[in-house]
Amino acid sequence: METLKFPVGAVGVLLTLLLAVPPVAWGHCDTLDGPVVVDAKTALAKGNIAPVLKWVPAAGEKEVREAFARTLAVRKAGKEAQDLADTWFFETLVRVHRASEGAPYTGLKAGGAEEETIVAADKALASG
């Protein structure tokens, strides 16, 4: 019976490559129609921060609360100010949320960027 022999160097190179390539994140919390931003829109519309606090750890809550208060204040200055303030709040919230997951913040993505399986899972969760 013949055994397969792998060169030790090749195995080492393969392991190094696997460890060097960052994992692909398939989350959608950084999209404009993902659950984090949807909850942020609800919070801003109601003037109540409660819907978004579930997305941040206790260590990030102070920053998010301050951003929320500032956003509400700036929104009163007109439509352009509201749009700018809302986007800034979404970015702050998503950045703090992503950091809590150990993931980098690479900006907000356009809606519809999610994979079909993630959309289906969200629908299943929403419908129970």
The per-residue pLDDT for range 16-74, each reduced to its tens digit, is 655 555 444 445 778 888 889 999 999 999 999 999 999 999 999 999 999 999 999 99
- 3-class SS at 114? coil
This prediction has a pTM of 0.67
Convert the pLDDT of each residue in 102-120 to its tens digit.
888 888 788 665 555 555 6
Q: Please tell me which residue, 35 or 15, carries the higher pLDDT value.
A: 35
Q: What are phi and psi of 114, to 5 degrees?
A: -80, 155
Residue 87: C-alpha distances to residues 74, 77, 96, 121 (Å): 12, 15, 14, 26
